[in-house]
Structure formats: C-alpha cells, structure tokens
Amino acid sequence: MKRLNLIESCKEFTPRSSDNINKIPWYTRGVYELLKEEDGPKRTKLYRVVYIGMGTGHAGIRGRIHNHAIKWNRQKWSHFSYFEVWHNIPDIVIGEIESLFLYFFRKHKKRGGQTLKLNSRLESRKLKRLSEAQVAQ
C-alpha cells in the first residue's frame, strides 16, 4: 500500500468500550469522530457522526475519547473512528483538518431535519472567510 502524506494510520467504527479506548497509544495525534450506530434499511447498520474533534499532546486522541466516554451519556455515541497523522505534521495542520471536517458537516441534518451541532467550533472562521471571498470574486 502506498504511504499517505498526512495520515499514518486509522481505526474505524470501533465499538465504545474502555478496552478499545485503552488500545489507542498515548501521544496519538490526529482527528477523530464519535458515531452513533443506528438501524438502516434491510438490517444494515448506519453510523451517524455526532462529534468531530482533534487530539494532540501527551493524552492525544486517547485522552480526548476517554474524556468523552466519561462526560457524555451512552445514548449519544456508540462507536468511534480516528485518523492518526505522521509525527512531522504540526498541530496547526491537525487543527485545519478538523476545521475542514467541521466545515463539511456544518449543515448536516439529523433525523427530524434539525441541524447537527457537532461541537462549539462548528465552523472555521478562516474557511468561512475564504469561501465568502471566493463568492465575492
């Protein structure tokens, strides 16, 4: 498999459990998503994104997901995925990656037509200004 320039490894659709969270190494840096498993058509499983975040520093992604497991009740999310960046990627780039995902999901609708509120930084100001500048030209 050819190496990616940003992403070193990933783990997707992992069931929420202390064992699975503790398998994430300390210092794992990158972006993650919290997911809610739902029943789909014809007995399939769907995974709805309920939160997007980033992890840096010593605790990294493991610490962030662990904090969500403690603070959020179990009905809000059931699975997680994460994408680890290479060690030479600066934290500021991880922040831009997170902002990009948040920007993509800023008008994502959940069942009932309500806009999904992913986190407090739902929309990157820099990306919004860039988009507005492009439209103005």
Tokens (6 digits) for 50: 């309920």
Is-contact 55 63, C-beta < 8 A? Answer: yes
Q: What is the pLDDT of residue 111?
A: 56
For 18, the domain range is 7-136
Q: Per the domain annotation, does 82 fall within a domain?
A: yes
Is 1 a member of any domain? no
Q: What is the pLDDT of residues 67-108, one digit of tens each?
A: 999 987 667 899 999 999 999 999 999 999 998 888 887 766
- From CA 44, how far away is CA 133, in angstroms rounded? 42
Give alpha helix (H) positions in the chain.
18-22, 60-71, 91-104, 125-136
Domain count, the chain: 1
Tell me which of 31 and 112 has the higher pLDDT: 31
**Pick the residue with more confidence: 47 or 112?**
47
Whether 123 has a pLDDT exceeding 60, the answer reads no
- What's residue 105's pLDDT? 78
Question: What pLDDT, on a 0 to 100 scale, did the predictor assign at position 104?
Answer: 82
In a domain, 55, yes or no: yes
Condensed to tens digits (0 to 9), the pLDDT of residues 38-67 reads 888 888 989 988 889 999 999 999 999 999
Question: Is pLDDT of 120 > 60?
Answer: no
Tell me, what's the pLDDT at 99?
A: 87
* pLDDT above 50 for 122: no
The CA-CA-CA angle for residues 83, 85, 89, to 5°, reads: 150
Does 2 reside within a domain? no
